[in-house]
Structure 1
Amino acid sequence: MALRWEAFLEQVQERGEYGTPQEAEQAARTVLALLGAHLVGEVRAELAARLPETFALILLNPLQATEPLSPQRFLRATAAWIEGATEQTATWDVSAVLSVVADATGEELTHRILLQLPPGYDLLFGRPQPT
């Protein structure tokens, strides 16, 4: 069951402590566009099915990534796309969006998403994995 647009944005806005829904939306669009480039196949399709339609489309038509980005480079890329962002604020943006994504998708799918990503993303999703 997909989260409604308003509910998704409200959660991102709350976690990211954004002043406006527009700021939360920009963060969500950027992070999901970058995330989509890292996911393939069923995992990406299943995640899209659990997101509001606009965000699902962003995930399914991602920014092209030539290679999987490490968490650090993912944060830098996010900062580059969000006006006025720094690596510190991008960490906040990414964590706000990805933790809402993890809650929306549940543990099993989140685990499968993490398997497609380079090590270290578990912390960005707010799901630290035992090492």
Structure 2
Amino acid sequence: MPMHREAFLEHVQERGGYRTREEAERAARVVLALLGAHLVGTVRAELAARLPETYALILLNPLQAAEPLTPERFVRAAAAWFEGATEKTALWDIGAVLSSVAAAAGDGLTREALLQLPPGYDLLFGVGRPT
């Protein structure tokens, strides 16, 4: 069952300490567009199925990535999409969104997603690395 849009945005807003829903929405759109380029197959489809439809579509129609980005390059890429962002503020935005994604996905699916990502993404999701 997908998380409702308002519940997801509320989670992102709370985690990110954003003043407005619009700020949470912007962060969710950018981070999910970048994340979608790094996930494939059933993991991406199952993750999308747990998100509100708006965000599922973003995850399923991602920005194209020539290669998987390391966590550091993922943060830099996100910073480039956020107007006036620094790597530090982008890291904050990423953490707010990905921890919300992990909450919607549950532990098992989050672990499966992490197995498709380069080492270090567990910290961006706010969870321990699978063994």
* Distance across 2 between alignment mates of 1:51 and 1:112: 16
Give the CA deviation at 1:84: 1.1
The list of structure 1 runs, each at least 4 consecutive aligned residues, that deviate by more than 6 angstroms after superposition, is none
2:128 is equivalent to residue 118 of structure 1? no
Structure 2 match to 1:59: 59
Residue 129 of structure 1 deviates from its aligned partner by: 2.3
Q: Which residue is 2:79 aligned to?
A: 79
Give me the whole-angstrom Cα distance separating, in 1, the residues matched to 2:114 and 2:36. Answer: 13
Q: Which amino acid aligns with 1:2?
A: P
Ranges in structure 2 where 5+ consecutive residues have no aligned partner: none
Aligned length: 131
Structure 1 stretches lacking a partner, 5+ long: none
TM-score by length of 2: 0.98
The percentage of counterpart residues that share the same residue type is 74
Contact persistence 2:114–2:129 (CA under 8 A): no
Aligned match of 1:69: 69
- 5 Å-filtered alignment, 1:1-131, equals 1-129=1-129
Partners of 1:117 and 1:4 lie apart in 2 by 26
User: RMSD over aligned Cα, in angstroms?
Assistant: 1.0
CA contact (8 A) 2:114 2:130 kept: no
Once the two structures are superposed, residues 40-62 of structure 1 have per-residue CA deviations (whole angstroms, 9 ceiling, x without a partner) of 00000000000000000000000
Deviation for aligned residue 1:67 = 0.3
- Please give the alpha-carbon distance, in whole angstroms, between the structure 1 residues aligned to 2:128 and 2:50: 22
